[in-house]
Structure 1
Amino acid sequence: MLWQFFQAYCNSKLCNVLFTHELAKRLQGSSVTCYSVHPGNSNIQHNWTGNIQHTWTGNIQHTWTGNSTPGQAGAQTTLHCALQEGIEPLSGRYFSCCEVQEVSDRAKDDAVARKLWEVSESLCGLSS
C-alpha cells in the first residue's frame, strides 16, 4: 500500500513536469511563461518511513535533509519563478532551490507530454 502511494505521488510529479513542458511549447511566441517547481518540503516523507533521505519524483532526484520547513521556505522557488526577471527563456523548465534543474529523458519526452495533454483535454471534456 505504501509503495503504491509513493508511486502515485511520483507519477503525479512527473505529469506536472510533462504538462508544463507541453504548455510552454503551446505558449511559445506569447508573453506567457510557465515553470514546474519542486513543491518544497511538506514533511510528507515522514509519513512514508519516518526518515527518507532521498525521494525520486518522475526520475528527478531530490535530497531532503529535514532542515527546511514548509511554508515560507517551501514557497521560495515558486516566488522566484513568478517574480524573477530574465528567466523567460526558461519557460517550460523545472526549478528546484530557485535554479533550473535537469530532468530525465522521460520527463522531457515530447510524445508523452503531447499524449498527456490530449488525455487531459479528453477527461476534461475539452477535446473536439
Structure 2
Amino acid sequence: MQFGVNHLGHFLLTHLLLGLLKSSAPSRIVVVSSKLYKYGEINFDDLNSEKSYSRSSAYSRSKLANILFTRELARRLEGTGVTVNVLHPGIVRTNLGRHINIPVLVKPLFNVVSWAFFKSPAEGAQTSVYLASSPEVEGVSGKYFGDCKEEELLPKAMDDLVGRKLWDISEVMVGLIR
C-alpha cells in the first residue's frame, strides 16, 4: 500500500499529465520525498513488501523511489521545457501521524515538542512553492532540495541503473506496459 500510494500513484498521475505539461512548457513538476529515503533500499524482489513488511522500511523505500523517479524523469524530459525536482519538506505538524500510537501520558509532551521543533504546514510548504514558482530554479531539473536549497544525495539515490529499472518495473506495475 505504501509503495503504491507514495510512488506508483505519483508515477502514473505524472505519466498521464506529461502530454499537457509538455504542450504547456515551460512547466514544472515538483515531487515530495523525505530525508528518510536514506534508510530505504530498492529490493526488486519485494517492492510491495509482500515477503517482509516493516512500516518504516516500506516508507523509506517509497521515498527513495520518489527520488529515483524524479532523476529518471528529468533525464527523459531533457529539452522539452518541463523540469522536475524533488524535495524534503522537513518535519511538519500535520495530522499524518494520527495513527501512531503515543501513550496518553506522553502525548502532551509530544505536542509541546512538535510545536517547538516541527514546521507549521505553511513553513513545510515553502520549498514546494519555491520549486513550483521561483525564477531562481527556472531550468533546474533532477535536483533534490530542502529549505529552498539544493542538497546532496546519497549515492544510492543517484544510481541511474536502479532508476531506469525502477521506471521499467513501475510502467508494468501501473499497467502502462504489459
**1:7-26 equivalent positions in 2, closer than 5 A:** 7-26=57-76
Shift of 1:89: 4.4
SS at match of 1:35: strand
**Residues 21 and 92 of structure 1 are in contact (CA less than 8 Å); yes or no, is this contact kept in structure 2?**
yes
In structure 1, what is the Cα distance between the partners aligned to 2:163 and 2:60?
16
Cα deviation, 1:41-95, whole Å, max 9, x if unaligned, reads 2354xx4888xxxxxxxxxxxxx9x523341011001001011113244301111
**Which TM-score applies when normalising by structure 1?**
0.76
Q: 1:27 aligns with which of 60, 73, 77?
A: 77
C-alpha separation in 1, matches of 2:150 and 2:101? 27
CA contact (8 A) 1:36 1:95 kept: yes
How far 1:8 moved relative to its partner?
1.1
Q: Which has the higher helix share?
A: 2
Counterpart secondary structure, 1:69: coil
Quick one: percent identity of the two aligned structures?
40
Give the whole-Å Cα distance in 2 for the aligned partners of 1:19 and 1:107: 10
The answer on 1:69 being equivalent to 2:119 is: yes
Does the CA-based 8 Å contact 1:40-1:75 persist in structure 2?
Answer: no
The one-letter code of the counterpart of 2:153 is V
- Gap runs ≥5 in structure 2: 1-52, 107-113
**Counterpart in 2 of 1:108?**
158
Q: 1:48 to 1:33 in 2, by over 3 A?
A: farther
CA radius of gyration, larger in: 2
If asked which structure has higher relative contact order (CA below 8 Å, sep 6+), I would say 1
1:31-110 alignment runs, 5 A limit: 31-43=81-93, 44=97, 47=100, 67-110=117-160
| Pairwise CA RMSD | 2.6
For residues 119 and 26 of structure 1, what CA distance do their matches in structure 2 show? 16
TM-score w.r.t. structure 2 length? 0.56
Q: Say whether the 8 Å CA contact 1:14–1:107 is kept in structure 2.
A: yes
Q: How many residues align?
A: 112
Distance 1:88 1:111 in 2: 27
